Structure 1
Amino acid sequence: MGELRTSRRRLLGIGAGLGAVAAGGLALSAAWARRPAVTGEELRSEAELPQAFSLPLPIPPVLAPVESGAGGDRYEMVQREVEAEILPGYATRLWTYEGSFPGPTIEARRGRPVTVLHRNELTVPTVVHLHGGRTPAASDGYPTDLVLPQGWTGHHAHSMPDDRAVVTDVQREYGFPLDQRAAMLWYHDHRMDFTGPAIWRGLAGLHFVRDEVEDALDLPRSDRELPLMIADRAFDAEGQLAYPSLDPTLTGEHGVEEPFLAGVMGDVVLVNGAPWPIHEVDTGLYRLRILNASNARHYELEAVAEDGRTVPLVQIGSDQGLLAAPVRHERLPLAPAERYDVLIDFAGLPVGSTVRLANRLGSGGTAEVMAFRIAREGASAPIPETLADDLPEWDRSEAAVVRDLAFRAGRMEDGRHGWVVDGLPFDPARTDVTARFGEVEVWRLIADVHHPVHLHLVGFRVLSRGGRTPLPHDAGLKDTVSLRPGEAVEIITRFDGYRGRFLFHCHNAEHEDMGMMANLEIV
């Protein structure tokens, strides 16, 4: 398997050494001390871009089940290419779930099973992962569990020397028991080596889980609860999505060229597929369900009124559901794959004014995300003082194992540069960590540059950053944690739910594709 991974990366042309990678955005030790705001390289659009806050915010459609009964709900999705107007006046080719970007939203209840049948009508294999789901291994979206296009003859589907590592089919039914807390999850492509270009081209959507704890709180609902999938992109002169590639004709697949090894970023910020949209609100309380679906870009969100004052963002939830109590933020950092459940109160703001959702880590167009126009008066509502009392209370003294895991740039077997976990690039045939079912573990995650680290199956709590207390936005139960350059973060979790083979990896999509992923076996 090591030979396969090396040859695959040679095919993708991953650089000739550390100097080239540094030129592409991976900072060296002197720059790490300055804690740069991003890890990645930005593509510049050539198409004509719309003025910010000139297009309405789209709301992704909710998918209806094809079957419902005592045993749960069954859905079907077709993955297909469509043309859609992302930029005004251009028809952009997208890879989609059910023809929309983002894909359609699934609304589910805790403990009510959901099955989703995916059929692939694209030109390349895909894999579906429900990010944040407590899902059996067979439906978790392992990177070699491929959903093939009809009549597929591409060599990648059959090039694994260990046949046990590859599962292929022209369609696949995923089963999600959803025995988990209410939260906003998301589903996206997870194919080995090609997650980045697949998400970039549109394969991402939202999946909500609801429960009685959430129901009992007087939180904004219906049109006062806004899903916001934030994703940066770049467009060529014809309005097509730009992504670095050695050979874009190779079975429709895109590798990553050397300068973008550190991560691909765009200069256009999309929210629910629209560039810098605006949404009409009243002077009441709104709930924002925020996801960073960007490949590599980090954000630091701030809501700014026309008079320059900051409108607080009150965090009530994290990746894996509600917090114990609200946390007030002036600015909210958001790494790739992180989700935040936020309340914002527009009370006291003048009708006719706007509130910008700004990105304090951006410049030019990427300094803006979207805006809200105060269109009318509305009734405000109080923010609950307490939220959920069902968060796990794991203690460090319970830990059966304490592990150190390093996420760093590294060299492949042939001397070329990539990204590795504890010095090793991803290999489907190797078990990297074995955890015993039901045991509590503490992991100390160590970074060289920015790495948003995601664990499949389990949520975790952040114990410390750099030996100090966690930051305010680390509150609650998470499944993705943002490691800053040169930083060590301790997390604690219990490995329960299901036995089998799962993953942990960096959710900078290009880092993941270039080897920064590892196998977790729960026994």
Structure 2
Amino acid sequence: MPIPQQLKPSRQTSDTDYYEIVQSAAMATIIPGLRTPIWGYNGTFPGPTIVQNPGRTVVVSHRNDLPVPTVVHMHGGTTPHDSDGYPTDFILPDAKYGTFPEMPAMAGMPAMTDPEAIITRQTRDYTYPPQPRAGTLWYHDHRMDFTGASVYRGLAGFHITHDTEEQALGLPSGARDVPLMIADRAFAADGSFLYPALDPTMRSTPGVQDSYTNGVMGDVILVNGAPWPVMNVDTARYRFRILNASNARTYQLALQDASRQSVGFTQIGTDHGLLAAPLPQDAIQIAEAERYDVVIDFSRYKVGDQITMVNQIGSGSTAVVMRFVVSRATSDGSRVPSRLSTINAISPNSAMTRRTMKFHRGANDWTINGRLFDPAYSEADVPAGSTELWTIISDFRHPFHIHNATMQVISRDGQAPGPYDQGWKDTVFVNQGERVQLAIRFSTFKGRYVFHCHNLEHEDMGMMANFRIV
């Protein structure tokens, strides 16, 4: 199993690390014996991992060598609005590729322009201040109307943040702290990605073929860009940072040993960092863009044993994710302490502003509160640093994601949060017919941001809305 390369700074100052990334087309070996054209950060899929250490600012200079505009969103980040990756803040390609509308016309959505868009030609610097908590974040393309196609082609990578609290715990680290990007893909006979775009050039007509409007799912499960990989492990604890980078597939991950008995995880974190205490989990349901940090203790096994990560809601080729083979006996100085972090639970009160966001499927589109995305319309103006109580209502299955904010799940259909709702989150799965109540704490960075469904085809078809931090 490949491990994404950690990117090295191009230069450093007393408080800032500078990185350089080129977005480019490349060929990758994914299916044995075939070559797959990809779009990658530094020509790789996944892109290189950026590590942000405590108290450090990160500046990433992106150069777009692709034939279409791109936008970079650091998912889960606390960022100034001009570095967040607003979907019309294009990095335009080389002028030889011509001009591009900010919001092309699609079924049910007129072509629009965005006077507030911050557009650059070919290069852009994104500035990420020190992050408030250690966490498994990620960066991906966020271009208006074409996010699904861009991410499917490979524009995704990890951005891992650390803090002193986490570093003092003695959790598995180094080669035993492993990011796992899970993503399903379909392939044509020649090894190319099979994405049902209406316009494969991604120049003018957004959207997918009618039979894929619920979301694009593939029949090959990739982990770190490899199909159903095998990882050799020591008889030791490992920390796995699991990211669901699929466009539209939800997984229910579980571990099985050779007897097909369930083994279980120890969950230690979620989207925005560590939980208060370790949480045993028989399985983990992970929707698009969610992250779960887990520890697997392989010291209970002997050399030669095999443990398989399965997808309990998959079938056929999507029922298996990857396999671990215990190949080396070794000592292990890591630990999982009984207390990990301080999580102050938010209790709703009468002073909180309350809002309702209805996620609805229309005839040929996906709306929030009856509206398709409009860059000129703000669904909510929220005071900087405030906490509000939002109720998300869904008539389909939607992973709700909000930028530049963090949240706690208060209830599901009036009952207690579910088994995967603990800790601070930026993406929460809302099942068909559910009402999920969220306490959302907004950043002190002011400006225009978005929230949306992270089923990327739904997002591209209009299921996104503005909010402003004022």
Correspondences of 1:97-136 after superposition (within 5 Å): 97-136=41-80
d(CA) in 1 for partners of 2:116, 2:344: 34
Correspondences of 1:289-438 after superposition (within 5 Å): 289-380=241-332, 381-389=334-342, 391-397=343-349, 399-411=351-363, 417-438=364-385
Give 1:404 deviation, angstroms. 1.2
Correspondences of 1:8-23 after superposition (within 5 Å): none
Which SS does the other structure have where 1:264 is aligned?
coil
Letter in 2 for 1:300: Q
Which SS does the other structure have where 2:49 is aligned?
strand
Larger helix fraction of residues: 1
Give 1:385 deviation, angstroms. 0.6
Q: How many residues align?
A: 461
Q: Given that residues 394 and 493 in structure 1 are in contact (C-alpha distance below 8 angstroms), is that contact kept between their aligned partners in structure 2?
A: no
Counterpart for residue 155 of structure 1? 100
Give 1:169 deviation, angstroms. 1.3
Q: Given that residues 399 and 439 in structure 1 are in contact (C-alpha distance below 8 angstroms), is that contact kept between their aligned partners in structure 2?
A: no
Deviation sequence 1:177-221 (CA, Å, 0-9, x none): 033100010000001100000000000000010110001101001
Aligned pair partner of 2:170 in 218, 223, 226: 218
1:166 aligned to 2:117? yes
Which SS does the other structure have where 1:510 is aligned?
helix
Deviation sequence 1:235-254 (CA, Å, 0-9, x none): 00111000002232463976
Deviation sequence 1:27-78 (CA, Å, 0-9, x none): xxxxxxxxxxxxxxxxxxxxxxxxxxxxxx1000111111101130111111
Percent of aligned pairs with the same residue?
Answer: 48
Query: TM-score scaled by structure 2?
Result: 0.95
Q: Given that residues 36 and 193 in structure 2 are in contact (C-alpha distance below 8 angstroms), is that contact kept between their aligned partners in structure 1?
A: yes
Letter in 2 for 1:360: Q
Change over 3 Å in CA distance of 1:73–1:268 after alignment to 2: same
Which SS does the other structure have where 1:396 is aligned?
coil
d(CA) in 1 for partners of 2:339, 2:29: 43
Letter in 1 for 2:47: G
Counterpart for residue 281 of structure 1? 233
Q: Given that residues 135 and 178 in structure 1 are in contact (C-alpha distance below 8 angstroms), is that contact kept between their aligned partners in structure 2?
A: no
Query: TM-score scaled by structure 1?
Result: 0.86
Q: Given that residues 233 and 324 in structure 2 are in contact (C-alpha distance below 8 angstroms), is that contact kept between their aligned partners in structure 1?
A: yes
Give 1:311 deviation, angstroms. 1.6
Q: Given that residues 399 and 440 in structure 1 are in contact (C-alpha distance below 8 angstroms), is that contact kept between their aligned partners in structure 2?
A: no
Deviation sequence 1:270-326 (CA, Å, 0-9, x none): 000000000001221110100000000000000100022222211100000001001
Change over 3 Å in CA distance of 1:340–1:399 after alignment to 2: farther
1:94 aligned to 2:41? no
1:495 aligned to 2:442? yes
Counterpart for residue 107 of structure 2? none
Counterpart for residue 458 of structure 1? 405
d(CA) in 2 for partners of 1:276, 1:123: 31
Q: Given that residues 15 and 55 in structure 2 are in contact (C-alpha distance below 8 angstroms), is that contact kept between their aligned partners in structure 1?
A: no
Q: Given that residues 311 and 344 in structure 1 are in contact (C-alpha distance below 8 angstroms), is that contact kept between their aligned partners in structure 2?
A: no
Which SS does the other structure have where 1:104 is aligned?
coil
Counterpart for residue 187 of structure 2? 235
Letter in 2 for 1:409: R
* Worse-matched range after superposition: 116-125 or 433-442: 433-442
Which SS does the other structure have where 1:156 is aligned?
coil
d(CA) in 1 for partners of 2:220, 2:202: 27
Letter in 1 for 2:246: S
Q: Given that residues 114 and 376 in structure 2 are in contact (C-alpha distance below 8 angstroms), is that contact kept between their aligned partners in structure 1?
A: no
TM superposition outliers: structure 1 runs of 4+ over 4 Å: 157-163
Letter in 1 for 2:194: A
Counterpart for residue 432 of structure 2? 485
Q: Given that residues 399 and 441 in structure 1 are in contact (C-alpha distance below 8 angstroms), is that contact kept between their aligned partners in structure 2?
A: no
Structure 1 segments unaligned to the other structure (5+ residues): 1-56, 412-416
Aligned pair partner of 2:154 in 179, 196, 202: 202
Change over 3 Å in CA distance of 1:303–1:268 after alignment to 2: same
Structure with the bigger RCO (C-alpha within 8 Å, sep 6+) is 1
Give 1:431 deviation, angstroms. 1.0
d(CA) in 2 for partners of 1:74, 1:398: 45
Which SS does the other structure have where 1:145 is aligned?
coil
Change over 3 Å in CA distance of 1:249–1:217 after alignment to 2: closer
Task: Kindly report the root-mean-square deviation, in angstroms, between the aligned alpha carbons of the 2 structures.
Answer: 1.5
Change over 3 Å in CA distance of 1:179–1:158 after alignment to 2: closer
Deviation sequence 1:465-502 (CA, Å, 0-9, x none): 11110112111000000011111111102223211111
Counterpart for residue 272 of structure 1? 224
Q: Given that residues 399 and 429 in structure 2 are in contact (C-alpha distance below 8 angstroms), is that contact kept between their aligned partners in structure 1?
A: yes
Q: Given that residues 317 and 323 in structure 1 are in contact (C-alpha distance below 8 angstroms), is that contact kept between their aligned partners in structure 2?
A: yes
Letter in 2 for 1:387: L
d(CA) in 2 for partners of 1:387, 1:435: 31
d(CA) in 2 for partners of 1:332, 1:158: 37
d(CA) in 1 for partners of 2:320, 2:282: 16
Which SS does the other structure have where 2:5 is aligned?
coil
Change over 3 Å in CA distance of 1:251–1:182 after alignment to 2: same
* Worse-matched range after superposition: 469-478 or 147-156: 147-156
Q: Given that residues 463 and 491 in structure 1 are in contact (C-alpha distance below 8 angstroms), is that contact kept between their aligned partners in structure 2?
A: yes
Give 1:398 deviation, angstroms. 6.4
Letter in 1 for 2:219: D
d(CA) in 2 for partners of 1:399, 1:282: 52
Letter in 2 for 1:105: T
